Structure 1
Amino acid sequence: MKFRFFEIFDYVLLICVFLLVFIGILFVYSSGVNSEQISVSKEYIKQIIFAGSGLVIMVFFAIFDYRKLQRFAPPAFAVLIFVLIYTIIFGRYVNGARSWLGIGNFGIQPSEFGKIIYIVFFAWYLERSENTLPLKRFLISIAILGLPALLILLQPDMGTASVYFPICIAMLFAAGIPAAYLLFIILTGILTIVFTILPVWQESILQKNIAFLSIFSDNRLRLIVIATFAMIGLIGALGFLFYRNKYYYFITWFSGSFTLAFGASIVGNKVLKDYQIKRLIVFLDPYTDPLGSGWNIIQSKIAIGSGGITGQGFLKGTQSHYRFLPQQSTDFIFSILSEEIGFIGSLFVFVLFLIILLRIIFIIHNTKNTFGYYIGVGILIMFFFHFVVNVGMVMGIMPITGIPLLFLSYGGSSLWTSMWAIGLLMSIHYRRLDF
């Protein structure tokens, strides 16, 4: 029995996770040390507690037969939706978003845990709908995605909401949904972002008025455009219905995407605050607002650049210890790491994440259970998206979205979610030959 217990754990994942969490604790501690080398924050103590409790969560879900989650998936998703609604109404404001629940100093972020619940529920649905018509399956999948993503966006927490979209696309791709449907989501998402940020881009970066761009800021013109594209889409749908010509299909496809994107951009402008929208574009030229939205990117790039090859040494970074870098224990933890242990240390972190991702691919490839396969795909994309977006963000090559670097950034919700995911992966791997 003891031997079987130790067989449960995937030691490649375990070693990589332990190393990342340990590095994270070190630099959460470093982020709380001031220029006089005095620790002014107890976040590292909390992070140690989060890591210890996260280990318990990981072990529990590694031992637990993940296939039993199928019976709990629908009620868990229903509870998630209720909690997200409750959070919008009664949650705490943190960094401009009402996305936290808690008592006293203890707080959790339901949308973080929601990512795993969403993955499990969506995997449950995809497995049970394999014989459903692709279009119906796709539309129901979009509804499953849209409900939690919209509620999180209403908090408003654009960064966390954005994680749900690549997870959905990857799991739909794994489920064999036609590429045209997936491209429809991708195009609509890209157009929504572009249409939402164009008014702010015109005002903040271009700094001149272009008559054509008024259709993206004037609600009356927007409604006219939406009605026009909707009518074109309806005509295209009728044409395809009667003539079965692909020409009409593509008309419907493009016009539908534009219609949804224009409508979503109106919602985006209403829900998102100006500074949140500005974060999406300020990376193009952070010096347009060097003391405002561009400040984080500028200071982060200075920190990374000053690290050089070997770094300035642990606790010897200037950007963090002189408090030039905001949110340095959470979203910008990689900036401190790069400043103090340099390119070599950063490369070591890159390698650890690469090993984790490759190991997840190995687990996905070898499992015989469809439910486990879908869960593995969802977790893979969650880890990949968090890593690429966070590192790209601190390097100034991607927008600032407030996405933490998993295992390293300070925060119990993020770390517990990551450890939960690792536990599920171990459970899937241990039972890889079971259907």
Structure 2
Amino acid sequence: MKRVPYSLVLSVIILKFFSVSALYVINFIKFVPKEVAYFLVAFFLFIIVSSINFRIFKFYSILLYVLVLFSLIGALIIGVAINSSRRWISIGGLFTVQPSEFAKISLIIIFAWIYEHKTWNNFEKFLYSTLLFLPYAIIVFLQPDMGTSLVFVFIYFFLIAVFLHYKYALTLVIIALSLIPLLPKILKPYQIERILVFFNPYRDPLGSGYNVLQSIIAFGSGKLIGKGILGSTMTKLNFVPVQYADFIFSAIGEIWGFVGIVVVLLSFAYILYFIAKAAFSTKNIFGRAIAFGVFAMFFFQILINAGMNIGIMPVTGVPLPFLSFGGSSELVNFIALGLVVSVYNYKDEINL
């Protein structure tokens, strides 16, 4: 088995320390035991995936795409409804799985498979990637889950910008700008309200703007070194809604202060640096596309989630990698990181 980069593992463990400390303050009994279990299973998968030559996954890219597509449709039709959204499939009534999280990995692998094809020209690659991207994005948007669908969009756009001619990326930008006047008809009322609150959180301080305002207050109360696990009253008393998932960054800010946030951001920075290094280390297009896809996924989620916690990004249901509570997202994050390590370790191997 190839060596796992210890510095990368250390960065992830640091993030998990901050995650568990925040979940401990929020509700130890409800979240910490499950989070530890998720981590152990996910880390085991990380070791397995990182030890497999990444080239093998291209032979299963279409099968994986179809399986995830059917699971997305199943979640939309017969999935478990939580807060008027059908994103989860119940497994024997014991636990739920969120297929849209696994769709991120599926999209990255299928895109990598498309970009590796030497017999297709750039237009054909653009066409095929678009045709395979649209079903995922539309179904997840209808669940509704605008946050995850935006992650899909960013991965799709980022890989096109990296691997295809700039004119395709420019075309997408023009199309996106032309759709802005249609947003009131496309988006649901609460989604439009989130955009308006982004520009002015005080338009509804006790309603749609409450989460953001409380998150900002929690951040500010942490000051330089934080209030500690025992003194973080806003987190302990649940002043910030959904703080175990979407707003866990604000809990870390209150508990560990500016110093803790810097450590978290440096850990993220190293993870992104390693992913970029893996992408540039190989000449294999399939491997490079996987690494760049994972980079896009992590970068966008970090940017959006951290930004919305401090009020500089609209509120969307995008989890913060390795920090937010959730089994499906934990598994996907570690699988994605395992793929990147595989690309880095097997970059010099011959093609299968």
C-alpha separation between the residues in 2 aligned to 1:433 and 1:194? 49
TM-score (norm 1): 0.78
What is the total number of aligned residue pairs between the two structures?
A: 349
Among candidates 163, 174, 181, match of residue 168 of structure 2:
181
In structure 2, the CA distance between the partners of 1:74 and 1:154, relative to structure 1 (3 Å rule), is: same
| Deviation of the 1:136 alpha carbon | 3.0
Are 1:325 and 2:240 counterparts? yes
Q: Which runs of 5+ in 1 are unaligned?
A: 33-38, 198-265
Are 1:30 and 2:25 counterparts? yes
Q: What pairs up with 1:300-315 in 2 under 5 angstroms?
A: 300-315=215-230
Give the aligned partner of residue 19 of structure 1. 14
Give the aligned partner of residue 221 of structure 1. none
C-alpha separation between the residues in 1 aligned to 2:265 and 2:337? 18
Asked if 2 retains the 8 angstrom alpha-carbon contact of 1:28 and 1:409, the reply is no
Give the aligned partner of residue 93 of structure 1. 81
In structure 2, the CA distance between the partners of 1:121 and 1:298, relative to structure 1 (3 Å rule), is: same
SS of the counterpart of 2:199?
A: coil
Which residue identity is paired with 1:144?
L
Among candidates 203, 206, 212, match of residue 291 of structure 1:
206
In structure 2, the CA distance between the partners of 1:193 and 1:96, relative to structure 1 (3 Å rule), is: farther
Asked if 2 retains the 8 angstrom alpha-carbon contact of 1:8 and 1:426, the reply is no
C-alpha separation between the residues in 2 aligned to 1:19 and 1:182? 36
| Deviation of the 1:8 alpha carbon | 2.6
| Deviation of the 1:132 alpha carbon | 2.6
Among candidates 71, 87, 106, match of residue 59 of structure 2:
71
Asked if 2 retains the 8 angstrom alpha-carbon contact of 1:12 and 1:359, the reply is no
Q: What pairs up with 1:136-215 in 2 under 5 angstroms?
A: 136-175=124-163, 177-193=164-180, 195-197=182-184
Which residue identity is paired with 2:56?
K
SS of the counterpart of 1:101?
A: strand
Q: Residue deviations 1:300-351, cap 9 Å, x none?
A: 0100111111111123212222221100000000000001110010000000
Asked if 2 retains the 8 angstrom alpha-carbon contact of 1:369 and 1:433, the reply is no
Among candidates 278, 288, 292, match of residue 373 of structure 1:
288
Among candidates 102, 105, 109, match of residue 98 of structure 2:
109
Asked if 1 retains the 8 angstrom alpha-carbon contact of 2:46 and 2:338, the reply is yes
Give the aligned partner of residue 125 of structure 1. 114
In structure 2, the CA distance between the partners of 1:190 and 1:338, relative to structure 1 (3 Å rule), is: farther
TM-score (norm 2): 0.95
In angstroms, what is the RMSD of aligned CA positions?
A: 1.5
Q: Residue deviations 1:349-369, cap 9 Å, x none?
A: 000000111111111111132
| Deviation of the 1:161 alpha carbon | 0.7
C-alpha separation between the residues in 1 aligned to 2:98 and 2:147? 13
| Deviation of the 1:108 alpha carbon | 1.1
Q: Which runs of 5+ in 2 are unaligned?
A: none
Asked if 2 retains the 8 angstrom alpha-carbon contact of 1:100 and 1:109, the reply is yes
Asked if 2 retains the 8 angstrom alpha-carbon contact of 1:331 and 1:409, the reply is yes
Which residue identity is paired with 2:176?
G
In structure 2, the CA distance between the partners of 1:387 and 1:194, relative to structure 1 (3 Å rule), is: farther
Identity of aligned residues (%): 36
